[in-house]
Amino acid sequence: MKPTTRSQEDFLEALLMLEEAGEPLETTRMAKKLGISKPAIHQMGHELINRGYITRIDYGDMSLTEEGRKIAKNILHRHQVLKDFLLSIGVDEQTAEDDGCEMEHIISEATFAAIEKKLNSK
């Protein structure tokens, strides 16, 4: 996989979450989910199309490519594991959600694997 930026990862993760919820993958929904403007969504969409992570029909919904889906699933998995870990040590729900979202982008593979192993051993 090609390296991605945090904002690209957040975008792909949000697309996957909307898709799994059965919602249309449209600019307006993405802007609301990510809390950014529609022009910013449009720009990021073009960047991700150029990288081969999403496709889009003119003025239509977006869809994840196979490579984009792999990245999105990995990020979403990391987010959920980190959130679950934080909840397991007594962090409140909203803080665990917010911090898990921050941590998913910067934590090393080794540390993440150790956290995941610890959670799975319970």
Kindly list the domain boundaries of the chain, sorted by start residue.
6-71, 74-120
Enter the pTM of the model. 0.88
- Please give the backbone phi and psi of residue 45, each rounded to the nearest 5 degrees, phi first: -55, -45
Could you tell me where the beta strands, DSSP code E, fall in the chain?
54-56, 62-64
CA 83 to each of CA 26, 86, 104, 117, 119: distance values in angstroms, whole numbers, following the listed order: 27, 5, 9, 14, 11
Give SS3 for 55: strand
65-79 tens-digit pLDDT: 999 999 999 999 999
Q: Which tens digit of pLDDT belongs to each residue from 74-118?
A: 999 999 999 999 999 999 999 999 999 999 999 999 999 999 999
Whether domain 74-120 has CATH 3.40.120.10: no
CATH of domain 6-71: 1.10.10.10
